Amino acid sequence: MILIDGKKISAEVKQEIAAEVEQIKKENGKIPHLAAIIVGADGASQTYVAAKVKACEQVGFKSSEIKFDENITEEELLNEIKKINQNDDIDGLIVQLPLPKHISEDKVIETITPEKDVDGFHPINVGKMVAGLPTYLPATPAGIVELLKRYKIETSGKNCVVIGRSNIVGTPMSVLMSRKAEYGDCTVTLCHSRTKNIEKITKEADIIIVALGWKEFLTGEMVKEGAVVIDVGIHRVKSDKTKSGWKLYGDVNFDEVAPKASYITPVPGGVGPMTIVSLMQNTLLSAKKAIYK
Ligand code: NAP
């Protein structure tokens, strides 16, 4: 069994991005700039945005954290987004989700100009991804493809099962794994809460990507020998055995599945670090497009 080290790969990719940033700075004086909007005081959202800001510093990007009170109206927020759309210094804009109930996430996503939508959530960018056109790929699925690439895991002609069909993970993942491309070309089955006999499907899979948000859902008996297992889930559970007082679990029962897997991602240190790196890659791409257009 080979443990897929997302922490190591993400550090490598960050170094590569940092080198490119240095080059761009020398040639153009331009520094890639990511802006992150955060509405309200949700603790998890603040942690996620802080991690993104830290990653920006690590790769040499400029970052702006733009905070709004949770009572901001939808119209006011959309106007703020439109201002950022017009700001030539900003290359990428993300709005941390979830948003307060009175604000439509769909409207917010559709207001971000597709050129700066480095989360890859805008319908135009989603459409381009489905059509196989160059675009910003959603961060978590793109990070998973990067891991498959860096570990040279053969995907062509393989049976790939994706569990979960969210717009941010499962659905785009299924598109990327089935597209006619290197590190695609799989025969994909997309499972969700209405899927029957899921273990029969997973047992046939060469590659299983698990993103349903159910702690340790995938057990040893659901997996065939030699399968590649990618665990997207993150569950924080109180623990008196760790220094931090928390232990992280995934959607995969690691102890049962790892002995049967050929490759597996751990939680933490697998998919998680790659998600932020993909966001950095998209922001770099946007900055380069702005410079070399
Ligand atoms: P989500 O929006 O809650 O979607 C969950 C999906 O799983 C839905 O499509 C749902 O089906 C399906 N599902 C639920 N129960 C199921 C079951 N018993 N059998 C099969 N499918 C089932 O979740 P998400 O945002 O994609 O996130 C999934 C997990 O990944 C969470 O643990 C989240 O914390 C984690 N995550 C991690 C990262 C990272 O960077 N590592 C990034 C994003 C998310 P229906 O559509 O039928 O309801």
My answer on whether omega of the bond before 268 falls inside 30° of 0, hence cis, is yes
Mean pLDDT of the chain: 97
CATH number of the domain encompassing residue 82 = 3.40.50.10860
Dist. CA 16–CA 60, nearest whole Å: 11
Please indicate whether residue 33, judged by its CB atom, sits closer than 6 Å to ligand 1.
no
Tell which of 113, 147, 168 closes a domain.
Answer: 113
281 within some domain: no
- Is residue 188 domain-shared with residue 152, that is, in the same domain? yes
Residue 120 in contact with residue 139, Cβ under 8 Å? Answer: yes
pLDDT for the residue 109: 98
- Is residue 251 domain-shared with residue 210, that is, in the same domain? yes
- Is residue 143 domain-shared with residue 109, that is, in the same domain? no
292 within some domain: no
In the chain the first and final C-alpha atoms are separated, in Å, by 45
Q: What band does 267 get if pLDDT is binned at 50, 70 and 90?
A: very high
Q: Which atom of ligand 1 is nearest to the CA of 192?
A: 21
Residues 92-132 have pLDDT tens digits of 999 999 999 999 999 999 999 999 999 999 999 999 999 99
* Total domains, the chain: 2
- Whole-model pTM? 0.96
165 within some domain: yes
Distance 91 CA to ligand 1 centre (A): 29
- Is residue 188 domain-shared with residue 266, that is, in the same domain? yes
157 within some domain: yes
pLDDT for the residue 292: 78
Q: Which residues are catalytic?
A: 52, 96, 119
The residue range of the domain holding 87 is 28-113
CATH number of the domain encompassing residue 156 = 3.40.50.720
Provide the token pair at 290. Answer: 């702005």
Rounded CA Rg of the chain: 19
- Is residue 87 domain-shared with residue 165, that is, in the same domain? no
Q: Which of 34, 137, 145 is nearest to 92 (CA)?
A: 34
